[in-house]
Structure 1
Amino acid sequence: MTDEVPELKLQNSRSHCWGAAVLWVKVLFVLPLGLFMVALMGSLKTGIQHAIEGATWDSHGMVAIVDAPVRAYLETHRTELPVTAETLCTTSLAVGAGLLAISFVTCTFGARLTWVGWGACSVAVVWAATTGPARGIACAVTGRAWGIASIFALRGVGTRRG
């Protein structure tokens, strides 16, 4: 019976560890961490600002890495369809944006599964339409952009509810 009491106390101390800490211990850890985060955010802001200023976000810059191969692929493979490549591209973008929004709002399995399929197809289209040594880079940029958007679309996946 005496063995159960220390185990219970140890379990309690683990579950309330930070709440039971003395105020000066919290300040000792939180203040330097906060100052470090402020400095880090300042340097990140500067780096991101330089990256954005250096990139062009029109049809000739970063967007073109994904957009140009998709448009070229759709133009090449739409020959027997009664729609233009522009309509196919706009529809694809609208479906992607809709899936992102639906996945974020509803968190349903079907929307998330379709989002994953849409992203995989986008990377596959970029792979098929890009030639030469730029193929890997174009797929990496496409995959990273899709991955960043997936943070929002797949939020909560893998978290345990209990």
Structure 2
Amino acid sequence: MSNDKPMNGQHRPNSILDQLELPRARKDKQRLAPLRTAWRESWEEGGFLYQRWEELFQARHAGWHEIAVWIKTAGLLAGISLIVMMVDTAGDIASAALKSLSAAPASNADDGTGLLGTVDHPIRVFLADQAAHLAVAPAALYAFWQLAGVLSLIGGFFGNAGARIAWTLWGLTSLAMIWSAAPTGGRAAATGLAALMWALASIFALRGLTLRPIVHNHPPQFQPQFNPALHLHATLAPAPARDDSDEEPDNIHPLQR
């Protein structure tokens, strides 16, 4: 019979269940004991986690060649992941910018004087004629043309060589489009006006660019000095001993030094 009685509104657990739970808890402790021992030993001096922590701590003051391989690998993987995320984000931003620009109404530019319209209208007409043979909307082509010009102008202002090349190609293609789509009577005037505008904008895009070669005349810090000298080594043989038996004239004497 069960002798469970309510105590403070709760039933006292059965003694048989308590006896079953105690061996179960002991078995769990025995199973986790090797894991706890391995965890403790890995943090002791010479253990696996202890060595990894030391390598991570020393990486702050070590050079690239002294850093552990696993730290380099983790850093490279993190850097590549960050670059992929940035490229993906930049692609989304550029796509959104192109969509917003292409969604804008393609109205003729009007600045009150008609100068911008003279340059802008032939480009719109040329892109619309070309888009009829392509799977792209005329507004998207015009938006891409605008975006390319703005980015190359900004990049060229900050001295980027690729942006300056893009700016040059952008201006030449713009002049070609204006010459092709402008009315025959005003073709030369429209192209010349666009060339002047492009030249004025190039003051900012090609800032600091020069065609003259830059020659750096820096005197060398160390100038070797050459002192040519001629060294002659002469070996003089000793004078032979004089033999009274030899008949030699008295006025001949051997050279001695």
TM-score with structure 1 length normalisation?
A: 0.60
Residue aligned with 1:136, SS? helix
Matched, 1:84 2:137: yes
Q: Which residue pairs with 2:192 in the alignment?
A: 140
Q: Which residue, out of 93, 111, 123, partners 1:57?
A: 111
Q: Which residue, out of 97, 107, 126, partners 1:73?
A: 126
Deviation digits for residues 23-58 of structure 1, max 9, x if unmatched? xxxxxxxxxxxxxxxxxxxxxxxxxxxxxxxxx506
Matched-pair identity in %:
31
User: 2:157–2:206: 8 Å Cα contact kept in structure 1?
Assistant: yes
> What is the Cα deviation at residue 161 of structure 1?
7.6
Matched to 1:128, the amino acid is S
Which structure has the larger Rg? 2
User: 2:156–2:167: 8 Å Cα contact kept in structure 1?
Assistant: yes
Matches within 5 A, 1:27-38: none
User: 2:157–2:205: 8 Å Cα contact kept in structure 1?
Assistant: yes
Matches within 5 A, 1:1-162: 57=111, 61-105=114-158, 107-158=159-210, 160=214
Matched to 2:154, the amino acid is A
Matched to 1:64, the amino acid is G
CA distance in 2, matches of 1:114, 1:91: 13
CA distance in 2, matches of 1:108, 1:91: 20
> What is the Cα deviation at residue 77 of structure 1?
1.1
> What is the Cα deviation at residue 62 of structure 1?
1.3
> What is the Cα deviation at residue 93 of structure 1?
0.7
User: 2:156–2:205: 8 Å Cα contact kept in structure 1?
Assistant: yes
Residue aligned with 2:145, SS? helix
User: 2:179–2:188: 8 Å Cα contact kept in structure 1?
Assistant: yes
> What is the Cα deviation at residue 109 of structure 1?
2.0
Deviation digits for residues 118-141 of structure 1, max 9, x if unmatched? 000000000000122200100011
CA RMSD of aligned residues (A): 1.8
Q: How many pairs were matched up?
A: 105
Query: Gapped runs of 5+ residues in structure 2?
Result: 1-109, 217-257
Q: Which residue pairs with 1:20 in the alignment?
A: none
CA distance in 2, matches of 1:161, 1:100: 28
More helix by share: 1
Distance 1:115 1:86, change over 3 A: same
Distance 1:161 1:144, change over 3 A: farther
Query: Gapped runs of 5+ residues in structure 1?
Result: 1-55
Distance 1:161 1:147, change over 3 A: farther
Higher relative contact order (CA 8 A, sep 6+): 1
Matched to 1:76, the amino acid is D
